[in-house]
Amino acid sequence: MEKKYWVPALDKANAVLRLIADQPGKLRLIDLSKETGIHKSSMFSLLHTMESLHWAVSEKDGTYSLGSAMASFGNAFFKKFSLIDQFAKEARPVVERIRLTVQLGKLEGDQVLYLAKEEAVSPIRLVSEPGMRIPAHATALGKVMLSELDVVELNERFPTGMLTPLTPNTISDRGLLWASLQEIKRQKFAYDLQESILGFCCVASPVRDETGRVIAAVSCSMPSHMWEEKREDALREIRQLADKLSLNPENGL
C-alpha cells in the first residue's frame, strides 16, 4: 500500500494492538515500549487514549488486554458474512451427530482466517478461534483452498519456496506442497495429519459460490487417536456440509 498519506500514530497504535492481541494480559507498558520502540512517555499517552476509546483495558497487574470496542469491531466485521450465519445453522447438527468440532475458514494470502467454529463437548479444546490465523500450508482448510490456485499464484503466496513447519509432519517445501495439492484438487478434500498441531487430525472440504469459485472451506478436527475410527464419518459429514453451504447464492465473501 502507498504510504504517501500514511498516519504514523495509527501505525503505532496498530502495532500495539497486535501485540496485545497476541499476548493478552501479559504485557505491561514497559514491555510494549521495548517491543515497538515507542518511547515510554509516548506509549503512556497512546495507551491512555486507547483506554479512553475502549480499544484496550489495563488489568490490575498493569498488563493490557483488548477492550470492548475491539469486540464490537470484530462482531461488525463478521456480521457482513451471511455464510457465517448459514454455517452456524448447518454445522450444529453435524457436531451433534459426530461429536466433533467443526470450523469455517477462508484463505487470506498464505494464511487461513478462522471465521466460525461449532465446538463439540470435549475435555480437549482446539486453540483455533474466530479471528485467528494459521499458515495455510499446515492445515486441511488451507490446503483444500490452496489446491484451487495455479502454480504461479502458489509461488506468489510462498515466494521463498520454504514453508514454516509447525510440527515434524508439516510440508515445508513448496514443490512438495504443489504435488500434494494436485491430489487434493482431484479428490476435492484435504487431510491434516498432525501437521498443524501434534495430536490432532483434520479433514476439510471447499465451499463454492454460484460460479464454482472456492470462497471458504469447512473442516472437522479430532484427537489423532480417534482418526481411524471417525475419519470416514467426518469426511462424509464435512463434504455434505460444504455442499449445503455452496448451494447458498448469498455466500459471497
pLDDT (tens digit, 9 = 90+) per residue, 177-212?
Answer: 999 999 999 999 999 999 999 999 999 999 998 888
Give the start-to-end residue ranges of the domains of the chain: 8-73, 80-246
CA dist 187 and 129 (Å) reads 28
Q: Residues 6 or more apart from 211 whose CB is under 8 A from it? A: none
Class of domain 80-246: alpha beta
CA dist 74 and 153 (Å) reads 29
Contact 193, 169 (CB under 8 A): yes
User: Model-level pTM?
Assistant: 0.68
Domain 8-73 grouped into CATH 1.10.10.10: yes
pLDDT greater at residue 81 or residue 90: 90
Residue 151 has pLDDT above 90, yes or no: yes
Instruction: Please give the single-letter amino acid code of residue 127.
Output: V
Q: At what angle do helices 82-98 and 227-246 cross, to 10 degrees?
A: 150
pLDDT digits (tens, 9 = 90+) for 67-76: 988 888 876 6
pLDDT, residue 74, reads: 77
Domains 8-73 and 80-246 share a fold: no
Average predicted confidence (pLDDT) for the chain: 90
Residue 1 has pLDDT above 60, yes or no: no
Planar angle of CA 243, 249, 250, nearest 5 degrees: 115
Tally of CB atoms within 10 A around 120: 18
pLDDT band at 129 (very low <50, low <70, confident <90, very high): confident
